[in-house]
A and B are shown apart, each in its own frame.
Chain A
Amino acid sequence: MKKNKNLARPLGSKEMDELDLAVKVDAVTMVFNMASQQLNSLKEFFIAFARRELFFKEFIALDTVSFEVHKGDVYGIVGTNGSGKSTMLKIVAGVLEPTKGACSINGNIAPLIELGAGFDMELSARENIYLNGALLGYRKSYIDEHFEEIVDFAEVREFLDLPMKNYSSGMIARVAFSVATVIVPDILIVDEALSVGDMFFQEKCEKRIGELIEKHNTTVLFVSHSIEQVERVCEKAIWIEKGHLRMNGTVEEVCAAYRSMRE
Chain B
Amino acid sequence: MNTRHLNFKRDGFVLSSLVSKDFKLKYRRSVLGVLWSILNPLLMMIVLSAVFSFVFRGDIENFPLYLILGTTLFNFMAAATNGGMMSIIESASLIKKIRINKMVFPLEKVIFELVNFVISLIAVVIVMLFFQVAPTWNILFLPLLLVYMIMFCTGLALILATLTVFFRDVIHLWGVVITAWTYATPLFYPIQRLPEFMIAIMEFNPMYQYVTYFREIALWAQTPSLEMNLVCFAMGAITLVVGVAVFNRSQKKFILYV
Contact = CB atoms under 8 A, between A and B. Distances in A.
Contact of B99 (A95, A118, A123, A139): A95
Contacts of B252: 97
B99 A93 contact: yes
Given A45-B167, A105-B1, A127-B21, A117 B93 contact: yes
A130 B94 CA distance: 15
A45 B168 CA distance: 11
Contact of A123 (B14, B25, B96, B97): B25
Majority SS at the chain B contact face: helix
A54 interface: no
B3 A135 contact: no
Chain A interface bracket (under 10, 10 to 19, 20 to 34, 35 or more): 35 or more
Interface string A95-128: 1110000001110010101100110101100010
Contacts of A104: 1
A195 to B, nearest CB: 16
B257 interface: yes
A130 B25 contact: no
Interface residues of B, number: 28
Contacts of B57: none
B99 to A, nearest CB: 4
Interface string B71-101: 0000000000000000000000111111110
A122 B10 CA distance: 24
A134 interface: yes
B230 to A, nearest CB: 37
Contacts of B257: 37, 40
B109 to A, nearest CB: 15
B256 A37 contact: yes
Interface string B1-30: 101000001100110111001001100100
Interface in B202-258: 252, 255-257
Contacts of A1: none
Given A94-B3, A109-B99, A131 B94 contact: no
Nearest to B4: A94
Contacts of A41: 167-169
B167 A40 contact: yes
Nearest to A33: B256
B98 A131 contact: no
9 contacts: A33-B256, A95-B95, A95-B97, A96-B255, A120-B21, A120-B25, A127-B24, A135-B100, A139-B9
Interface of A: 13, 32-33, 37, 40-43, 45, 90, 93-97, 104-106, 109, 111, 113-114, 117-118, 120, 122-123, 127, 130-131, 134-137, 139-140
Given A37-B256, A111-B99, A137-B100, 16 more contacts: A13-B1, A32-B256, A40-B167, A40-B168, A40-B257, A93-B99, A95-B99, A97-B252, A105-B1, A111-B97, A117-B96, A117-B97, A127-B24, A134-B18, A135-B17, A139-B13
